[in-house]
Amino acid sequence: MSLSADQAVDVLRAAGEPSRLRILALLAHEELAVLELCKVLDQSQPRVSRHLKLLAEAGLVERFPDGAWVFYRLVAGGDARRLADEVLRTVDPADPVLIRDVERLQAVRAERSAEAGEYFARNAARWDEIRSLYVSEAAVEAAILKAAGPGPFKRMVDLGSGTGRMLTLLGPHADVAMGLDLSQQMLNIARTHVAEAGLARCELRHGDIFGTRLPGQSADLVVVHQVLHYLGDPAAAVREAGRLVAEGGRLIIVDFAPHKLEFLREQHQHRRLGFAEPEMERWLHEAGLAKVSAVALPPARGDGLTVKIWTAERAYNPQRSAA
């Protein structure tokens, strides 16, 4: 359905203000929290919140609370999004104001990455211990094995491999396995664990989950285990993970259901406090995957975290199979 004339005017009026146009340009890069937008725009929270309210009313951005934080992102699709994209395409990317905004956004990202890096370096040696405080690893790993299926897998890729636990768990069922992580401390620990497990055909590589540089549709099992809640743009990570899944292959995402344990954000660098099923399902479908299913593992304690295991597959292409 196309926008009516009045709706188009409302969308253009919402976008046609300097600060709101800057916000749209920033959200085209990634979802951002209100306070992050305030830092980049150098404006007060009430002023930025007012701009965001008008953009949301015009159907240009989505607002979603996450514990004590509130995040915003561009709407996923529709006529309002297409009109906003067209407006952003007409703006000169060399505009000095937009360039300054991007520089400030990069500074926010750098600060975020530095804090996460310090946290991972400080806690790498006892990472599995930290995880065990929240969930039963034995129950989670049994569910992951069930979700993955018996194999064998020609090629497994573990994105954000951490200490290498998914590699030692699933690697024995794979002909070739690869783990990527940005933390050298984590990779060093993972190398030790992989060697102790006797996984000779397992490669550990310094790599970015947003840009793995791996060939598309090259792995029949891709795993993203307890990574997304640290990321500034989890949807982009899901897209990259989905891109790697071969026809007939499977993507497994392990993370938390929505919760309100703010201390995880304050003490353990969690950016997102879990993910709702509709949100994850949409991301997986946008990544070209189907047969999405989810399993919930409730905590042993009432104040703990529920672990969710999402599974999705890439369907076979009949035309390619026939060829």
Confirm whether pTM is higher than 0.95.
Answer: no
- Residues 6+ away with beta carbon under 8 Å from 276: 257, 258
What's the pLDDT at 201? 87
Query: What is the predicted pLDDT for the residue at 176?
Result: 93
Residue ranges for the chain with pLDDT beneath 50: 321, 323
Euclidean distance between CA atoms 175 and 219, whole angstroms: 11
- Structure confidence at residue 195 (pLDDT): 84
CA separation for the pair 212, 185 (Å, rounded): 19
251 within 8 A of 224, measured Cβ to Cβ: yes
Digit-coded pLDDT (tens) for 208-225:
999 999 999 999 999 999
Q: Which two tokens stand for residue 317?
A: 């292409």
Instruction: Give the pLDDT of residue 121.
Output: 64
pLDDT value of position 130: 54
The pLDDT, as a whole number, for residue 116 is: 63
pLDDT at 41: 94
What confidence score (pLDDT) does residue 32 get?
Answer: 87
- Structural domains present in the chain: 5-91 (1.10.10.10), 127-322 (3.40.50.150)
Structural tokens at position 169? 């768990």
